[in-house]
Structures are given as structure tokens and as C-alpha cells.
Amino acid sequence: MRLHPGIDVVGSGLLGFSISHPEDSHVYLLHDGGQAVLIDSGCGLDQDLILQHIDAADVARTAISGIYLTHAHADHSAGALGLSRELGAQVYASAEVAAIVRSGDEAAAGLEAGRLSGAYPPEVRLLPTPVTEIVDDATCEVGTLTFRAHRTSGHADGHMCFSVRVGIGLAVFTGDLLFSRGRVAVLATPDTDVSALANSIRSIAALEPELLLPGHGCVVMSGAAQHLRPALARLDGQELPPPFMV
Ligand SMILES: [Zn+2]
């Protein structure tokens, strides 16, 4: 699914466009000039569907050099091992996310609790995956595009958003930090930090993005400020923005 020249959605489950496994987060493909990276990797099941969408985007699988993880939750990270092997791509994440994904820590990835609640089928596994750590403000060139990492904790330990300037403005891949219409996902997990979440949303708003490309749900292709404004208003009133899942 082409969103913009250079940005495709190649994976997305039930909380999105249902073009790959139901448990998948959005998986974005950013490409330019014969170079490409993926943002997030889905849950690791039925990965042929993601590969088919990459092919349909007319991007060579060999062009994909990196898989950048927003955070370690299994719907975003459990597909990294299979895709990195299939594509010959390196996996990149913050130090905290790298520690979870490298060790295959299924509790920290939300998989153990998710299986018990029925949110994940037993086949979803987080297998130990080689990961290269990246820091806040790390950049990577994708053709003529500069892709940048932003530390944005709050939803989960070591969460990162990624930004890239495209024709109509700045696009921010927000993972599970912030969704369309200013929604958030605050979980009852020890690494959820509401004050950090507020600071992270403010830091993303300060980038003045035009596009918001979250890990689930609607994508915002213009006028991101309209979606940020209600979240910021709630935070200014010491309230949490409304939940993504109700
Ligand atoms: Zn998450």
C-alpha cells in the first residue's frame, strides 16, 4: 500500500489494514534511490505476506539494509529475526529494546501476558535476535533521505520514534507512542511511564510533523497538528489523552 512516494505499508494486522497477519503492527517500508529500510517487523507469522507487499512496492528485497524497531512488544519486534534473515538486513533498536530482543525475553515483550489473555496465539515467539543498538538522534541515509531516531519512552522501555523529511513535510513513525486523533496506549505494565509519555509526545509535537505514521490504526497524511492538538491540550490539563483501544 503506497502512502507517499517512498513510503509504503507492507504489513498491518487487525488494528490496521488487515494486509498481513492479524497480530502484526504496521510495518512500513521507507525507500529512495534503490535503498530501503523497514520500520517494525510484525509478529513473525505468515511473513510471506509482508515479503509479497515489499515485492509489490517494486523495491528489491536486497535494497533493504535495516529493520528499525520502535519498541520490543511482540507485535512490532517478533518478526525481526525472520525478516532480517530473509532480507539480509540488520536490526536496529535502542539499548533497552536491543536487550529484550537479543535475549528473546518474552515477558518483557508482553508475550507471556498476551498469551494468557488470548491476545497472542501460542505460535508467536520472540526468538533471540541479533540487534545493533542506536542512540537518540542517530541518523541513517536512505538514498537522499535522512532517517532519524528519537528516544520517546512512556509506552514501553526504550521506545523510539523515527522521522524523515519527505516532499510535503516531516513524517514521524510514532510506533505506539501516539495514534491518530491524539490517542495513546497506556498499559498496566511496569515500564509504562505516564510522565515520560507526556514529555515524549511534547517532543514529537515540537518537531512540527506533517505526517503521523503510527504503529496501528489510521495514518495521518497531512495536518498532523490537528491530531497532536487534542493530545497536547489534555496533557496541559494534567490529563491523559484518550485511549487508542476502548
Ligand atoms: Zn506496544
Ligand 1 mean position to 109 CA, how many Å? 9
> Which pLDDT belongs to residue 236?
87
Ligand 1 mean position to 119 CA, how many Å? 12
> Which pLDDT belongs to residue 208?
97
Report yes or no: 27 and 20 within 8 Å, Cβ to Cβ.
yes
Ligand 1 mean position to 73 CA, how many Å? 5
**Cβ contacts of 123 within 8 Å, gap of 6 or more:** 45
For residue 67, give the C-alpha cell: 529493520
> Which pLDDT belongs to residue 246?
64
> Which pLDDT belongs to residue 32?
97
Q: Edge-to-edge strands of the sheet including 132-133?
A: 2-4, 7-11, 27-32, 35-39, 64-68, 90-93, 132-133
H-helix segments, 72-136:
74-77, 80-87, 95-103, 111-117
Ligand 1 mean position to 71 CA, how many Å? 7
Ligand 1 mean position to 33 CA, how many Å? 31
Return the bridge partners of 170, or none. 165
> Which pLDDT belongs to residue 190?
84
Ligand 1 mean position to 14 CA, how many Å? 14
Tens of pLDDT, residue by residue, the chain (246 residues):
999 999 999 999 999 999 999 999 999 999 999 999 999 999 999 999 999 999 999 999 999 999 999 999 999 999 999 999 999 999 999 999 999 999 999 999 999 999 998 889 999 999 999 999 999 999 999 999 999 999 999 999 999 999 999 999 999 999 999 999 999 998 888 888 999 999 999 999 999 999 999 999 999 999 999 999 999 999 888 898 989 976
